[in-house]
Amino acid sequence: MTTWPSWLPLRANLRELSPYGAPQVPATAIMNTNENPYSPSLQLAQAISDRIKEVSLTLNRYPDRDAITLRNKLADFINGLSCTNFSSENVWAANGSNEIIQSLFLAFGSGKALGFTPSYSMHPLIAKVTQVQWIAGTRALDFSLDVDSAIAQIEDSQPVLTFITTPNNPTGTSISLSELERIAQNCPGLLVIDEAYAEFSDEKSAVTLIEKYPHIVVIRTMSKAFAFAGARLGYLVAHPSVIESMFLVRLPYHLSALTQAAAEVAIDFSDELLATVSQLRKARELMKVNLEQLGLRVVPSSSNFLLFTGFKQPSAQLWQALLDRGVLIRDVGLLGYLRVTIGNEAENKNFIESLSSCLGEK
Ligand SMILES: *Cc1c(COP(=O)(O)O)cnc(C)c1O
């Protein structure tokens, strides 16, 4: 923990925090932050450059504050995937879904926020930073979400914001749409569904529940399946009143003209960008088999990563041994577990071979 100088008027609730810090270190196989390993095509890169060049000629002016074109495109994109009927009034966009999460806390964090641990570590971290009381709820021992237990926990703490990540990070487990619906029927405040990995799952998106349950808010991102993490674009699909509330807490012109332009072009290339999803899902199943052949246990995943256990070394030691071989995976702070992102073929092979030799060491 950092020792802060006494003259620094840092908020008391921040003094004990550590910044978010997935290590960004050189490695041959980068398999720690759940990105899509396949980079954009030359055609997409060219289309983005062309559009950015056009936009550059107007950079003396502020961007469209409300990102109307982009929000319309995102609405059409979601409608195409989920057979819904949303417009820009149902969509909010920001610099990554982390900014969306921050805006939700700023707008609605008048009471407690509840999540089901282990889950995405940024939910409680952003809650702390925005001074919202976070309740760490629990999951079943196999990391699945027991719906009756979840409903009892919601009943107990009466949160204004309940977070469910499905497929969940870091476990990969997901819950069905009918189970989500049961939770929605028993949830005060807003039910926030973080669907960062939805494209990797067979389950229908929770956006299809919004019309019936206007307190359901769905967070999506271009950072994972969509292979666009570097651009920073996350979005929210919700009832228009939720979107209108976002206008109150967003910073003026929060989304740069460059980001808007790049994201708009990327959506035009969505077929290409999502083409690798089925390949990654197949690679996930193969990696699961390979891990089990090494005598490890793998948590069922409908995402683009696997959480595995059953090794003898402490997690941190095995993580380091892999990094020494050029393979960067993630120690998510769960005793006896490590998480690996599905990479490209060469990375996956490298990972399994390196892991195999690490496990053989004493
Ligand atoms: C990666 C991730 C996000 C955030 O991603 P952005 O890059 O900020 O859009 C949000 N939620 C979960 C569960 C994630 O794993």
Summarize pLDDT for 112-125 with one digit per residue, the tens: 999 999 999 999 99
Decide whether any atom of ligand 1 lies within 6 Å of the 97 Cβ.
Answer: yes
Instruction: Report the separation in Å between the CA atom of 236 and the middle of ligand 1, taken as the mean of its atom positions.
Output: 12
Q: Which atom of ligand 1 is nearest to the CA of 168?
A: 13
Contacts of 114 (CB under 8 A, 6+ apart): 134, 135, 137, 153, 154, 157, 159, 161, 162, 163
- Which residues of the chain form CATH 3.40.640.10? 56-272
Q: How far, in Å, from the CA of 8 to the mean position of ligand 1? A: 31
Contact 106, 127 (CB under 8 A): no
Q: What is the pLDDT of residue 362?
A: 54
With cut-offs at 50, 70 and 90, classify the pLDDT of residue 2: confident
pLDDT digits (tens, 9 = 90+) for 288-305: 999 999 999 999 999 999
Best of 175, 224, 232, 303 for a ligand 1 pocket test (most atoms within 8 Å of beta carbon) = 224
Residue 72 Ramachandran class (φ > 0 left, ψ -120 to 50 alpha, else beta): alpha
Domain 12-41+275-359 is found in CATH 3.90.1150.10: yes
Residue 146 neighbours by CB under 8 Å, 6+ apart: 139, 140
223/218 Cα distance (integer angstroms): 15
pLDDT, tens only, 301-350 = 999 999 999 999 999 999 999 999 999 999 999 999 999 999 999 999 99
- pLDDT attached to residue 24: 86
Q: Is the CB of 223 under 6 A from ligand 1?
A: yes
**pLDDT, tens only, 12-34:** 888 888 887 778 889 999 999 99
pLDDT digits (tens, 9 = 90+) for 195-211: 999 999 999 999 999 99
Res 302: pLDDT? 97
Model confidence at 360, in pLDDT bands (50, 70, 90)? confident
- In this structure, the residue with its CA closest to atom 5 of ligand 1 is 97
Please, which residues bridge with residue 330 across strands? 339
Q: What average pLDDT does this structure show over 149-175?
A: 98
Quick one: 175 exposed, middle or buried, by C-beta within 10 A (0-12, 13-18, 19+)? Answer: buried
Cis peptide before 170 (omega within 30 of 0): yes
Phi, psi of 108, deg, nearest 5: -120, 0
Sheet holding 297-298, edge to edge: 297-298, 305-309, 337-341
Q: Is the CB of 196 under 6 A from ligand 1?
A: yes
Q: Is the CB of 103 under 6 A from ligand 1?
A: no
Question: Which of 125, 193, 194, 330 for a ligand 1 pocket mutation test, highest count of atoms within 8 Å of Cβ?
Answer: 194
Tell me if 229 CB under 6 Å of ligand 1. yes
What pLDDT score does 23 carry? 82
- Phi/psi-derived region of residue 57, left when phi > 0, alpha when psi is between -120 and 50, beta in every other case: alpha
CATH topology of domain 56-272: Aspartate Aminotransferase; domain 2 (3.40.640)
At residue 196, the pLDDT reads 98
| Number of residues written out for the chain | 362
Summarised one tens digit per residue, pLDDT across range 38-79 is: 999 999 999 999 999 999 999 999 999 999 999 999 999 999
Cβ(115) to ligand 1 under 6 A? Answer: no
Give me the pLDDT at residue 279, please: 96
The CATH 3.90.1150.10 domain(s) of the chain lie at: 12-41+275-359
Q: Is 167 in the pocket of ligand 1 (CB under 6 A)?
A: no
Q: Is the CB of 169 under 6 A from ligand 1?
A: yes
Query: Angle between the 97-108 and 122-129 helix axes, to the nearest 10 degrees?
Result: 50
The predicted pLDDT at position 16 comes to 85
